[in-house]
Structure 1
């Protein structure tokens, strides 16, 4: 079986995009893991699968599979690459498309200057919505937010939690370059308080509209950028009274921009989306 693909990246977060519009794509978790391998496969943080919508009022459906072969709910950098892909391939002439994802419908827009803005989600903070079980954890209030004392190794890390279509736990650090992302990221991701696992964000605040960020992504590991992680960090920072919209997010792979008007409002992510190369792989 030969599989055609497009390799794309958004701020260094890289993807293999697969077209399943004409026929369903039925790959096993092991096949996805092999394709994601950077030495023996194509190499990718995630796979973006373009499909037909269930509702004809929408333009496409969209599935995301992580490098470990597990399917996830959302990916902000991937969504930007998605709209660039369908426009470059001539699959639509619309500047804005409505795309079905596992938790609902999102709007993706490519501007005339080539920048791409993604309607991410209305952030949710209730523990049951993450999902998150805070029983037995210490808590403290900061601004309009509740922080939770999460035991991580020998330390207690104070995290804010948010769901942006997928779960996030965000902590503020003094220096993101010195943050123990590789050591503590896996411990937070798999912490028993998060029954569906979680994306672990490490945020350094430069000023009220500028942060630096590293994210250990669920099922992937640390990536050069995480779109929903950027939004999660910003909305948690705004809830805590530390940030104000709009916020520039400096990731290791590039710069993203996040807008959020506050509780109950949609959050938006803007940034680059680039086609790297196209190819065909023998499965």
Structure 2
């Protein structure tokens, strides 16, 4: 029987999402339903779906409940596949909670559960900041082949709760010449796949203690997106790793959808900050 559900459309620097409120965990969307909802011609359109569910109402929410987090971000990619985390998505999720009056982001931080652990969100001068937690730079090099690059390039693996491979390019022209309608090929290929970021450092790299980068991203399960929050963090961490001990802990990263901030704490946590907006609401009937 067809089912009508309410939704909200939101985005963070152009990384857009269909938000569905399901506080008690009663909605069971199939992969095909998610894909249709995210389809830009036959559905609402989005890079993924954010299901707003109480941590106590989802099987993966036990850690969040134990930490005192009321809400859990059930994030699905545009093809319906489950993702661990989304840096732009969780800021949009927080904006939704705040507007709905379900959690208020004021002087106190808000905890939100994800499949990559419990995340802490606070207000920042850029909008909303999320502590993505500890990160890991992988030791093994990955070769990346992409349409528009004459030869394979080395990439570094970065884990910020979900997997990334970051590739440095030599110029803005090379970055703009990429054709990311084709899936980049990774060798060796990670078992669970990875988001792939292509970055060009600014010249000069650092001004007034802040590093500056420009990147594009291919997200697994989605394709090229205007922005990827965890990818922005992973890119800053990769360039910081390449730059060595003198590298700064604050970064500004430009993506096609706007600009995001990254900072690294003495505890080796990486934090992402930027805007989040809700665009419109509506209802849609699912087959």
Please classify the TM superposition score into its range, dividing by the shorter chain length: 0.7 to 0.9
Is the Cα–Cα contact under 8 Å of residues 126 and 274 in structure 2 kept in the other structure?
Answer: no
The structure-2 alpha-carbon separation of the partners of 1:278 and 1:90, relative to structure 1 and needing over 3 Å to count, comes to: same
Question: Which residue of 2 is the match for residue 203 of structure 1?
Answer: 199
- SS of the aligned residue for 2:137 comes to coil
* Superposition RMSD in Å: 2.1
Question: Which residue of 1 is the match for residue 143 of structure 2?
Answer: 150
Question: Which residue of 2 is the match for residue 131 of structure 1?
Answer: none
- SS of the aligned residue for 1:238 comes to helix
* Residue 186 of structure 2 is aligned to residue 182 of structure 1: no
Moved over 4 A (4+): none
User: Which has the larger displacement, 51-60 or 245-254?
Assistant: 51-60
Structure-2 separation of matches of 1:279 and 1:192: 43
Question: Which residue of 2 is the match for residue 105 of structure 1?
Answer: 118
Cα distance per residue 1:5-59 (max 9 Å; x no partner): 1100100000111111134320100001111111110000011111112416212
Is the Cα–Cα contact under 8 Å of residues 59 and 97 in structure 1 kept in the other structure?
Answer: no
- SS of the aligned residue for 1:125 comes to strand
Question: Which residue of 2 is the match for residue 6 of structure 1?
Answer: 8
Cα distance per residue 1:54-80 (max 9 Å; x no partner): 416212111110011101001100011
* Residue 278 of structure 2 is aligned to residue 275 of structure 1: yes
* Residue 168 of structure 2 is aligned to residue 172 of structure 1: yes
| Superposition deviation, residue 92 in structure 1 | 1.7
| Superposition deviation, residue 105 in structure 1 | 0.7
Structure-1 separation of matches of 2:126 and 2:166: 30
Q: Which runs of 5+ in 1 are unaligned?
A: 128-133, 135-147
| Superposition deviation, residue 125 in structure 1 | 2.0
Q: How does 1:130-279 map to 2 (within 5 A)?
A: 134=140, 148=141, 150=143, 152=145, 155-179=151-175, 181-183=178-180, 186-188=183-185, 191-206=187-202, 207-208=205-206, 209-241=211-243, 243-261=247-265, 265-279=268-282
Q: How does 1:9-28 map to 2 (within 5 A)?
A: 9-28=11-30
Question: Which residue of 2 is the match for residue 30 of structure 1?
Answer: 32
The structure-2 alpha-carbon separation of the partners of 1:97 and 1:240, relative to structure 1 and needing over 3 Å to count, comes to: same
Structure-1 separation of matches of 2:200 and 2:77: 26
Structure-1 separation of matches of 2:180 and 2:15: 21
* Residue 87 of structure 2 is aligned to residue 84 of structure 1: no
Question: Which residue of 1 is the match for residue 132 of structure 2?
Answer: 120
The structure-2 alpha-carbon separation of the partners of 1:33 and 1:270, relative to structure 1 and needing over 3 Å to count, comes to: same
User: Which has the larger displacement, 252-261 or 239-248?
Assistant: 239-248
| Superposition deviation, residue 227 in structure 1 | 0.3
Cα distance per residue 1:84-131 (max 9 Å; x no partner): 1100011123432111111211111235x671001112111246xxxx
| Superposition deviation, residue 184 in structure 1 | 8.6
Is the Cα–Cα contact under 8 Å of residues 176 and 202 in structure 1 kept in the other structure?
Answer: no
Question: Which residue of 1 is the match for residue 58 of structure 2?
Answer: none
The structure-2 alpha-carbon separation of the partners of 1:266 and 1:151, relative to structure 1 and needing over 3 Å to count, comes to: closer
Q: Which runs of 5+ in 2 are unaligned?
A: 56-61
User: Which has the larger displacement, 243-252 or 228-237?
Assistant: 243-252
- SS of the aligned residue for 2:184 comes to helix
Task: Kindly tell me the number of residue pairs found equivalent between the two proteins.
Answer: 261
The structure-2 alpha-carbon separation of the partners of 1:149 and 1:72, relative to structure 1 and needing over 3 Å to count, comes to: closer
- SS of the aligned residue for 2:234 comes to helix
Structure-2 separation of matches of 1:177 and 1:6: 37
